[in-house]
Amino acid sequence: MFDLPLDELRRYAPAVREPADFDAFWRSTLAAEATRPVLLDVRPEPTELRLVDSWDVTFAGFGGDPVRAWYTRPAGVDAPLPVVVEYVGYGRGRGLPHERLTWPVAGYAHLLMDARGQSGRYGSGDTPDPHAGAAGGPSPVTWGILDPEGYHYRRLITDAVRAVQAARALAGVDPARVVAAGNSQGGGLALAVAGLVPDLAALLSTAPFLCHLQRAVEITDVGPYGEIAEYLAVDREAEERVRRTLSYMDGVAFARRAAAPAHFGISLRDRVCPPSTGFAAYNQYGAANGRPEPVDREIHVYPFNQHEGGEAVQVRRQLRWLARVLGTPVAAAPAEVDGRAGRS
């Protein structure tokens, strides 16, 4: 087993480093984008799939930069649908429109956001990061890490919030039922969105990255956190500046401000996103959102899994939980099937 025992994890609620201007920093960041139109281009994407329809979406992210996304929904359904806005893992891009079909096949609209500048390691993407030249290290997690204003994750979190706004502007979406979802880096981005978008309908976060960052960098050498440690092993005098930057991006701070119902998944042998860092966010989720009622939240623990987590089992649990929280999405009536041999 890795990290703390499970009974300690269930109580683990550390005070993370949080700058006094945390809220002002994010208000200012998002206010700078608020006056820009969010949708830049929406065009049908021809595919060989017959049960879903897809569109190639471009929206204005941080600094007005064009960010690409796939919008997919059940074919032949005109009713406004709840939409799952999904964020990809570290080193991935949006890929091809047929790669992630769980949500549209389940009856939801689905917007999959590209990760600016990150594609090529595990998947393809179409969104560059034109601001990646700020002082820092050679990998996305260290781009601009010496200053929160120029840090890559300031831009990526802003993109994630803008993706929710873009989803609400798309045809066929119920704007009151927007879900933020993701695994690993995607789970961390979804968690940040939950802390920054007050009227989000639900959060799905599995093995979340960007949580309890000060501890994560100290206890694991596995990337992406290991890439920060490698950077500091070379730039030995940058530690305090790096820790300050990370304090503005910590998922625990976002989790404390969140109010949407939340579903988490964490694996106890995960060295990529150590379990204590995810539990630190889950255990404090909604603690500082200013609302008297407790937040609907649940967590599923996978004691024998590493960063792959619960995979299909976790997705099935998400589907069942989300149907309970939002209600069954509207979908086309299934075709009648006669199972008798020789009958078509």
Structure confidence at residue 49 as a pLDDT band (50, 70, 90)? very high
The per-residue pLDDT for range 68-114, each reduced to its tens digit, is 999 999 999 989 999 999 999 999 999 999 999 999 999 999 999 99
Number of Cβ atoms within 10 Å of the Cβ of 217? 22
Q: Is 24 exposed, middle or buried (0-12, 13-18, 19+ CB in 10 A)?
A: exposed
Beta strand 66-74 pairing with 52-60: antiparallel
Percentage of the chain exceeding pLDDT 90: 90
CA distances from 7 to 3, 102, 249, 268, 279 (A): 12, 33, 27, 12, 11
Mean pLDDT of all residues in 25-44: 97
The per-residue pLDDT for range 182-236, each reduced to its tens digit, is 999 999 999 999 999 999 999 999 999 999 999 999 999 999 999 999 999 999 9
Beta strand 202-206 pairing with 109-113: unpaired
Structure confidence at residue 338 as a pLDDT band (50, 70, 90)? very low
Report whether pLDDT(258) > 70: yes
Query: Which pLDDT does position 341 carry in this prediction?
Result: 39
Q: Which of 60, 27, 326 is nearest to 169 (CA)?
A: 60
Structure confidence at residue 328 as a pLDDT band (50, 70, 90)? confident
The DSSP secondary structure of 202-218, one letter per residue, reads EEEEES-SSSSHHHHHH
- Which own/partner pairs from 5-12 qualify as long-range (CB within 8 Å, at least 24 positions apart)? 6/268, 6/301, 6/303, 9/268, 9/275, 9/276, 9/279, 10/279, 10/283, 11/283, 12/276, 12/279, 12/280, 12/283
Q: Give the strands of the sheet with 297-302, arranged side by side.
A: 39-44, 52-60, 66-74, 109-113, 81-87, 173-183, 202-206, 262-267, 297-302
Domains and CATH numbers, the chain: 6-326 (3.40.50.1820)
Taking the CA atoms of the chain, what radius of gyration do you get in angstroms? 20
Active site residues: 184, 270, 307
Mean pLDDT of all residues in 238-263: 98
Structure confidence at residue 334 as a pLDDT band (50, 70, 90)? very low
Are 114 and 155 contacting, i.e. CB atoms less than 8 angstroms apart?
no
Query: Which pLDDT does position 329 carry in this prediction?
Result: 87
Report whether pLDDT(314) > 50: yes
Query: Which pLDDT does position 124 carry in this prediction?
Result: 87
Structure confidence at residue 129 as a pLDDT band (50, 70, 90)? very high
Report whether pLDDT(339) > 80: no
Record the tokens describing residue 251, joined without a space: 């998922």
